Amino acid sequence: MPSFDHKNVFILDITSSGFVVSFLTSSPPLLQTVQLRGAAVIKARKLSSAMSAAKAICDHMRDIWFGTKDGEFTSMGVYAGGNSYGIPEDLIYSFPIEIKNKTWKMVGGLPINDFSRAKMDATAAELVEERDTAMDFLSQ
């Protein structure tokens, strides 16, 4: 594995995978809408969803630069090492994150219901499979 300081790595999470906020889990139709939003934007505007991605990038850069408000967090794809959510190590995964002084810290101990746990585990399994496929390809 390459060596890097994972406190300096930020990866934009614009998918609906990863950490699923509990209010989404109480409404499967809402969750499905969020999961399919990219296709809906393309269909409605007849354009790509690039502006949505650009807005998400701007929001993340704002949070990184100015930090999150006290008591609030954002969801961001970061290195999974040392997480309290049971996600395998050595993945980049979306977690609740607080940012202060341009340094992120994972928010631990948030309650996870059964629906969220199943979605999180499915996402982690997909990421492990993708990671392993990429590593196999790179080792050839």
Q: Residue 103's domain is classified under what CATH number? A: 3.90.110.10
Domain count, the chain: 1
Tell me if 120 is assigned to some domain: yes
Q: Regarding predicted confidence, which is higher, 87 or 42?
A: 87
Is 112 contained in some domain? yes
Q: Has residue 2 been placed in a domain?
A: no
Q: Which residue has the higher pLDDT, 10 or 48?
A: 48
What's the pTM value of the predicted model, to 2 decimals?
0.65
Cα dihedral 82→57→60→1 (10° resolution): 20
Task: State the residue range of the domain holding 127.
Answer: 9-138
CB neighbour list of residue 30: distance below 8 Å, 6 or more residues apart: 24
Q: What is the mean pLDDT of the chain?
A: 78
Mean pLDDT along residues 77-86: 93
Q: What per-residue confidence (pLDDT) applies to 83?
A: 95
**Dist. CA 83–CA 67, nearest whole Å:** 20
Q: How many Cα atoms occupy the beta-carbon half-sphere of 81 within 13 Å?
A: 7
Residue 26: the pLDDT is 54
Domain-embedded: residue 40: yes
Rounded distance between C-alpha atoms, residue 76 and residue 13, angstroms: 6
Residue 53 is predicted with a pLDDT of 75
> What pLDDT was estimated at residue 29?
67
More confident residue, 48 or 73: 73
